[in-house]
Structure 1
Amino acid sequence: MSQEFRGHVGQVAAGDIQNLDIKIQVPGRPEDKVLVPAQRAELHELRAKCEELGADPRDVWRAVHAQLAVKSIDQIQSNQLGEARRVITCLLERLMDDADRRRLVGKILRTAAEKDARVELSNFCDVTFGRTQLTNLQRPDLQRVLEFIQSFQIQPLQTEQSLPPSAPELSARLPLRDFLVTYKSNAFWLFMLGVIVDRFWFR
């Protein structure tokens, strides 16, 4: 007589025994699965954006591998996709912020050079932030500096005092002919005064 058991078999008394190996799945514990092609493509796309901003792609993968405790992308499981995505996204945001800060610094320096306002720029940064190195400022601070330097106006030096409004009229000289035509009465009395002075003064 043959006896057949499925699963673990303890002690039996006698007879032929056939034990079939059966794997038991523990409820609530999903099987580990590697990344599917679409998931790998998503990570590669994020890595490519980092590379466009100047990052070494090897450094991007090193950051992911260190965070997930793996040695290659082939070892990343599908349930680790969210964490891998988060690591690359954080790195991408830092790279974008650095690029924006470099652009703002360049624009500030060009504007200050055009207005010859380097001293005023340095004074503003020193008073406002306590530092003069633009590369040490955060993006919101650089935006404030750019607003200052764009609105800065050089005050012209006043070397001469302004003449009163009537000065141009007083300083203008009329030709003799125009004076005689314009001021006939005045010219007549000046002529008569000259005759009288000549008669009584020079005799």
Structure 2
Amino acid sequence: MGQEFQGGVGQVAEGDINNYGININLPDKPEFRGLVTAQRKELHELRAKCEELGDDPRDVWRRVHAQLGVCSISEITAEQFHEARTVISGRLEQLQEEADKRRLMGKILRSTAEKDARQEMLNFCDLSFGRTQLSHLKRNELQRVLEFVQQVEINPQPAAEIPQVQTAEPLQLREFLLMYKTNAAGLFLFGIFVGRFWS
């Protein structure tokens, strides 16, 4: 028993092979095309922006790897680039949203402290959004709260009136004796008493 092959052999088998003119084409395994340098650079730049906003770069790559089913950036194909960019861009938008919210909350808290309008701000939040914790509000809701706080006018509490100190004109002797009779009499007697011992 011998085997003769003419042309390309698509499969290797043992024993007799009868080929009745049926062509079986097995799809070729697609060739792996990794990311080009520009694509890698763009992904790294997006990741760096996430890191600037306080995100751990390893977390960014973990999200990408989990979404694409790869273990490292070197396994990402050129066809998966757009999906990888979408994952990182989504995380960047989320981080920017959180940073904007923190900035707005800081402005709101400073303005309410300056105007002593905390209770008015809490009432506005409760009536408008049904909650008073700023951290649970969305960015557009925080913008409305900031606008309210900046427009609120608090009527200042009337300060206790400080009595005006009038500059006193020197009293004439006659006026002094009439106003302070007992004091004047005491000074007169004291003068007589001291005068006896000194003379």
Normalising to structure 1: TM-score of the pair? 0.65
Amino acid at match of 1:78: A
Corresponding position of 1:6 = 7
Pair 1:129 & 2:134 matched: no
Corresponding position of 1:166 = none
Deviation at 1:26, TM superposition (A): 4.2
Q: How many equivalent pairs are there?
A: 145
The answer for unaligned runs of 5 or more in structure 2 is: 11-16, 20-24, 160-199
The answer for unaligned runs of 5 or more in structure 1 is: 13-23, 160-203
**How far, CA to CA, are the matches of 2:43 and 2:158 in structure 1?**
64
Mean alpha-carbon deviation: is it higher for 56-65 or for 117-126?
117-126
Amino acid at match of 2:9: H
Corresponding position of 1:117 = 117
Q: Deviations over 1:101-137 (max 9, x none)?
A: 0000000000000001111111111111111100100
Deviation at 1:5, TM superposition (A): 2.1
**How far, CA to CA, are the matches of 1:158 and 1:4 in structure 2?**
109
Pair 1:32 & 2:32 matched: yes
Deviation at 1:155, TM superposition (A): 2.3
Amino acid at match of 1:103: R
Using the aligned pairs only, state the percent identity. Answer: 59
- Describe how 1:58-137 pairs up with structure 2 within 5 A: 58-137=58-137
Q: Which runs of 4+ in 1 moved over 6 A?
A: none
From the two aligned structures, give the one with the greater strand fraction. Answer: 1
Normalising to structure 2: TM-score of the pair? 0.67
Deviation at 1:8, TM superposition (A): 2.5
**How far, CA to CA, are the matches of 2:151 and 2:121 in structure 1?**
12
Q: Deviations over 1:36-95 (max 9, x none)?
A: 221111110110000000000000000000001111111111110011000000000000
Distance 1:11 1:126, change over 3 A: closer
